[in-house]
Structure 1
Amino acid sequence: MSSHLKSIITTLIFLIVLSCGNKKQETPSTLDEKPNIIFIMSDDHAYQAISAYENHLIQTPNIDRIAKEGILFSNASVTNSICAPSRATILTGKHTHINGKVDNLMPFDTTQVTFPQLFQKVGYQTAMFGKLHFGNNPKGVDDFMILPGQGHYINPDFITQNGDTTITGFATDIITDLTLNWLDQKRNPDKPFLLMYLHKAPHRPWWPTPEKFKEFRGKEFPLPNSLFDDYANRGSAAKTAEMNLLTHMKYSYDTKVWPETIAKMDQVLPEVPDLVNAFNNIIGRMTTEQRAQYKPLIDSISKDFEENWPTMTDEEKMIWKYQRYMQDYLACISSVDDNVGRVLDYLDSSGLTENTLVVYTSDQGFYLGEHGWFDKRFIYEESFRTPLLIRWPNAIEPGITNDEMVQNLDFAQTFLEAAQIEVPEDMQGESLMPLLNSESDEWTRDAVYYHYYEYPAEHAVKRHYGIATKDYKLTHFYYDVDEWELYDRSKDPEEMFNVYHDTAYAEIVVGLKKKLEKLRVHYGDSDELNQHYIDLHNERMAQRH
């Protein structure tokens, strides 16, 4: 049987199962009051692209619903703003320098205990569908279908316990189909469950469905205030990072211009061959029907580019790239929101809502043109801050916004405490349960710790560690520089002015440095450990070349 025929049959089976499923009504009592947990995470979903946070770019009514019926955290952040390390922190409840996954290159320490293992050990059903991003056999998971590595948007491959398979369709829809199929057909209704529902979207290169592509293609979005930031009031790290929309965003791979169009234009530098190949591989994965749907849209973009790019000013080119970026990125978000709505509707129709804790988050924040950037990595606000919305009927008062300093480091402990499972002593976060129960007076954390390691590497964001409080952010860039930056978060929320050398902040710098050093000791980080990871990184980079 051909792989194409297999994919068609697999897709039909999923559709039949979903349409004919027997939905059994349940109440909390059937689960002995043990809550179900659904952990929903998208990849690179900026808080600015969730209307519960900011509504100037897109409306996300289904994701917003989690906040309206639960709690929205306005000060949630990550410990290391890059995909695989963030996921390792979530799974282990430990900083990346402890679990070993400091960057996308370093291997995850497989001796680490993950929270799904602890759920599985006490009798929870556990399942994972979508993007894990590291490892092909997730620990503590009874049933899974995960994308290999970054995965594909169109006709994605999946790793399963029974071998690899390819499913025809769009990743966001398929991951939701798999999730609903498990909920409706495969789980044991007499046992509580932990379900990880993990989207690839809206990770680069931002391929929407043809329908969403067409819907968002003509839309125009407001420009961020700092789109043309010249980094004049900051150190070398911001100036040398390679994620500027104008300079570093690719024409074919990112903005969907045909490589043939670019090749014949003298005014445009040739694309990097690897990324041209990557674009062509995406087109090559499409069925004939899919290609016919995408081609007119790509033709339109390419025609616009060829006719207008040569006469544009640099400012106009920057705006053109920003609009193309936003059209595709937000179209991917729109699909995520639609599919989150499908899952929430299923919980309602099946009677599972009342005893199910639902979390929506991202593995980190993302730049949507702020400071002229795309991507993440920095401790600066847009990549450091992450969306976090939690709903748990009868446990969380609806419509709460909380501004405490919380991190993805805290998720594992929170889920374990909610399920009344003993928390290992070596986990480093803090359970969010007091905040979910409106007992904020029990929350004592006033600062969080951050450390980014992946340098020298893609996007050239320098290594740095730092501390953030509600009022300030202090950062030390190291390795090939020795620079400090301080931002006054209340007076300068866009972080445009480094005030580290301003004498008016001298006492604040002294106090924050002391607090930073205490946090480093508390979490077991040190300069010696930094050097250890630098040496390992350099070894792996040498091996790759």
Structure 2
Amino acid sequence: MKNYTNQGVTISRYLIFVLISFISCKTQKEIESEQEHRPNILFAIADDQSFPYASAYGTSGIKTPSFDKVAKDGVLFTNAFVAAPQCSPSRAAILTGKNIWQIEEAGTHGSYFPKKHPVFTDLLAGVGYKTGFTGKPWGPGNWKDAGWLQNPVGQEFNEKMMSSVPANGMALKDYYGNFVDFFRQKEKGQPFFFWYGGHEPHRAYEEGSGVKAGKILEESAVPAFLPDHELIRSDVADYVLEIEWFDAHLGKMIQFLEEQGELENTIIVVTADNGMPFPSAKANLQEYGTHVPLAICWPSKMKGNRVVEDLVALIDMAPTFLELAKVVKVPEMTGKSLSKLLIPVPDVQPKKHREFVLTGRERHTHARPDNLGYPARAIRTQDYLYVRNFKPHLWPAGDPVPFTQKTQATTQGFKPLWPGFHDVDDSPSKLFLMEQQSEYPRHYNLAYDKRPSEQLYDIRKDPGCVNNVAQEPEYEEIRMDLKTKLEIELKRQGDPRVLGYGNIFDSYPRMSIMRQFDGFNERGEYNLDYIQEGQVKIE
């Protein structure tokens, strides 16, 4: 009996071993099969590019053949919006699939990125993707002291450099060469996610580089909020030249994927993190601060030559990527997958993707005393943009600084105060408006003057957002409807600005160099006064 039992135990153990081995082997094969069928993802994100600055949109004075190819092979979106008109909060929102008021310090510019907020890149890595980036990832800000082992975007590939670039101010990083390095380091058959973060068209530009490269000033597309002046046209031409440089590297990446036999199974997304670095655009919730280009293709799965006018948000990218990559365990996100827009169900009329998109901003740079930001939220429908400015007594572009400050020395370690209005990137266009205020008072006021608590724009008639109709009687019903919808949605999403403790945003540290404004100006430190106010729910 004893020998028989031992033999039975031995046989049972053998069967269990065989069964486990079979299951393990099958699981491994399934994993390999899933990896082979999971799509690669190339995410190309320009730094400071507004809609409609791509030739696929019919804009004059610009040629973007790579963007246009992606649009032709897939879908061209005409109404895509970032969560914030600033680099780091916009990028954090893309990574988390949440709006800026839902991600604490990561929702303001140049602060921390709390590790507790999951990012889609980690979730992709968790199912076998190789992730990496070249150029600009999440930033500016501090991720190391927030608990991350690497930038939230993935592994850095920035070693390859170029010997020269078309104009001063362009990054010397060889984006294409770094992508090739990344690709060659991944295992055969392993799916990848690669973040091509061009530094272009972020300022500074080489003045006159556009004309020098053959740009015709008469073809420069000048938005309505800027004067149609030769200097502005030249500045726009310099900006366009940098977009074309970004596009050129993308073209090389697409060609490389085709040569490697990977293009058919690669989702390519081309977009930007916020609007153009001009007055009234970047760092503003008006149209040219948040409305960005977007084209998406997936040659093996998507039909091409389609234009989608539905409202979409870049926070929709995270759930889209995770769904198409067959990631099962996905944390709660505010974004909505674009899969049904990208791959429509046959014979089924797709529903409208969104009724509206929400955007917001907090502090941009150190532009005011006490390191305060300019809190604002907006709701954008197909036809209207409604903006709520929470502190209209503040200067929206940062405090003005007297010309007498220009030659005054600053304490070591601080940026200079002059020319003021620091939420607008320094540029020829910025100084032109400041110096020509009397000649172009309306353009000056749009960029620099204080704003009312409510702004409403009829986008069909006024895409440049130069006519605030919030107080006009015929728009009263629309204003009230959008105001109500915005407040309800912000409360639902837990925005501190409408829950009574919005000043918590002004407690968050700024990691970049500060200026000598009065009040709190400690780099990298929390403003404890505003943390206390946040705890007691100050209005």
TM-score, reference length from structure 2: 0.69
C-alpha change, 1:395 and 1:458, in structure 2 (3 Å) is farther
Give the letter for the 2:357 counterpart: V
Give the letter for the 1:96 counterpart: I
Q: Is the 8 A contact 1:172 1:336 kept in 2?
A: no
Q: Is the 8 A contact 1:35 1:357 kept in 2?
A: yes
Other-structure match for 1:174? 174
Task: Give how far 1:452 is off.
Answer: 0.8
| 1:200 pairs with 2:199 | yes
From 521, 531, 535, the counterpart of 1:542: 521
Give the letter for the 1:182 counterpart: F
Task: Give how far 1:324 is off.
Answer: 3.3
C-alpha change, 1:423 and 1:41, in structure 2 (3 Å) is farther
C-alpha change, 1:319 and 1:411, in structure 2 (3 Å) is same
C-alpha change, 1:412 and 1:146, in structure 2 (3 Å) is farther
From 97, 104, 115, the counterpart of 2:101: 97
Distance 1:446 1:39 in 2: 26
> After superposition, what is the alpha-carbon deviation per residue over 1:172-227, rounded to whole angstroms, capped at 9, x for unaligned?
651221012222x21212211111111111101035998x7842477554463625
Alignment of 1:51-130 (within 5 A): 51-100=55-104, 101-130=106-135
> Which range moved further: 489-498 or 200-209?
200-209
Q: Is the 8 A contact 2:311 2:357 kept in 1?
A: yes
Distance 1:374 1:188 in 2: 46
C-alpha change, 1:449 and 1:207, in structure 2 (3 Å) is same
Other-structure match for 2:356? 447
Percent identity over paired residues = 27
Q: Secondary structure at the match of 2:489?
A: helix
Task: Give how far 1:404 is off.
Answer: 1.0
Q: Is the 8 A contact 2:89 2:109 kept in 1?
A: yes
Distance 2:366 2:469 in 1: 28
Other-structure match for 1:463? 375
| 1:401 pairs with 2:371 | no
Give the letter for the 1:190 counterpart: G
Q: Is the 8 A contact 2:222 2:233 kept in 1?
A: no
Distance 2:215 2:56 in 1: 24
Q: Is the 8 A contact 1:38 1:196 kept in 2?
A: yes
Distance 2:338 2:162 in 1: 33
Task: Give how far 1:82 is off.
Answer: 0.1
Q: Is the 8 A contact 1:364 1:383 kept in 2?
A: yes
From 279, 294, 300, the counterpart of 1:388: 294
> Which range moved further: 67-76 or 214-223?
214-223
> Which range moved further: 189-198 or 98-107?
98-107
From 474, 478, 486, the counterpart of 2:386: 474
> After superposition, what is the alpha-carbon deviation per residue over 1:492-518, rounded to whole angstroms, capped at 9, x for unaligned?
333222111111122222221221122
Distance 1:519 1:188 in 2: 44
Other-structure match for 1:138? 150
> After superposition, what is the alpha-carbon deviation per residue over 1:354-373, rounded to whole angstroms, capped at 9, x for unaligned?
111011010012266xxxx3
Task: Give how far 1:139 is off.
Answer: 4.9
Distance 1:380 1:516 in 2: 16
| 1:378 pairs with 2:284 | yes
Q: How many residues align?
A: 409
Q: Is the 8 A contact 2:311 2:354 kept in 1?
A: yes
Give the letter for the 2:181 counterpart: N
Q: Is the 8 A contact 1:114 1:139 kept in 2?
A: no
Q: Is the 8 A contact 2:74 2:295 kept in 1?
A: yes
Alignment of 1:270-285 (within 5 A): none
Distance 1:323 1:37 in 2: 36
> Which range moved further: 53-62 or 450-459?
450-459
| 1:521 pairs with 2:491 | yes
| 1:226 pairs with 2:231 | no
Other-structure match for 1:13? none
Other-structure match for 1:284? none
> After superposition, what is the alpha-carbon deviation per residue over 1:454-513, rounded to whole angstroms, capped at 9, x for unaligned?
168449984211211111111111224361111122233332221111111222222212
Q: Is the 8 A contact 2:134 2:197 kept in 1?
A: yes
Other-structure match for 1:235? none
Other-structure match for 2:422? none
Q: Is the 8 A contact 1:367 1:382 kept in 2?
A: no
C-alpha change, 1:350 and 1:84, in structure 2 (3 Å) is same
Root-mean-square deviation (Å) = 3.3
Task: Give how far 1:435 is off.
Answer: 0.7
Q: Secondary structure at the match of 2:521?
A: helix
Q: Is the 8 A contact 1:172 1:199 kept in 2?
A: no
Higher Cα Rg, which structure: 2
Task: Give how far 1:118 is off.
Answer: 0.5
> Which range moved further: 87-96 or 523-532?
523-532
From 249, 274, 279, the counterpart of 1:339: 249
Q: Is the 8 A contact 1:116 1:139 kept in 2?
A: no
Distance 2:477 2:317 in 1: 34
TM-score, reference length from structure 1: 0.68
C-alpha change, 1:227 and 1:428, in structure 2 (3 Å) is closer
> After superposition, what is the alpha-carbon deviation per residue over 1:407-444, rounded to whole angstroms, capped at 9, x for unaligned?
11111111000101025342111011111013562445
C-alpha change, 1:59 and 1:71, in structure 2 (3 Å) is same
Task: Give how far 1:57 is off.
Answer: 2.0
C-alpha change, 1:141 and 1:366, in structure 2 (3 Å) is closer
Q: Secondary structure at the match of 1:386?
A: strand
Distance 2:101 2:458 in 1: 28
Q: Is the 8 A contact 2:40 2:267 kept in 1?
A: yes
Distance 2:47 2:162 in 1: 12
Q: Is the 8 A contact 1:216 1:331 kept in 2?
A: no
Distance 1:494 1:94 in 2: 27
Task: Show structure 1 runs of 5+ residues with no match.
Answer: 1-27, 157-168, 230-317
From 463, 468, 491, the counterpart of 1:493: 463
Segments of 4+ in structure 1 off by > 6 A?
Answer: 152-156, 537-540
Q: Is the 8 A contact 1:473 1:486 kept in 2?
A: yes
> Which range moved further: 114-123 or 457-466?
457-466
C-alpha change, 1:205 and 1:394, in structure 2 (3 Å) is same
> After superposition, what is the alpha-carbon deviation per residue over 1:253-300, rounded to whole angstroms, capped at 9, x for unaligned?
xxxxxxxxxxxxxxxxxxxxxxxxxxxxxxxxxxxxxxxxxxxxxxxx
Q: Is the 8 A contact 2:41 2:193 kept in 1?
A: yes
Q: Is the 8 A contact 2:456 2:470 kept in 1?
A: yes
Other-structure match for 1:272? none
Distance 1:542 1:37 in 2: 41
Distance 1:194 1:84 in 2: 20
| 1:349 pairs with 2:259 | yes
> After superposition, what is the alpha-carbon deviation per residue over 1:306-329, rounded to whole angstroms, capped at 9, x for unaligned?
xxxxxxxxxxxx834313312322
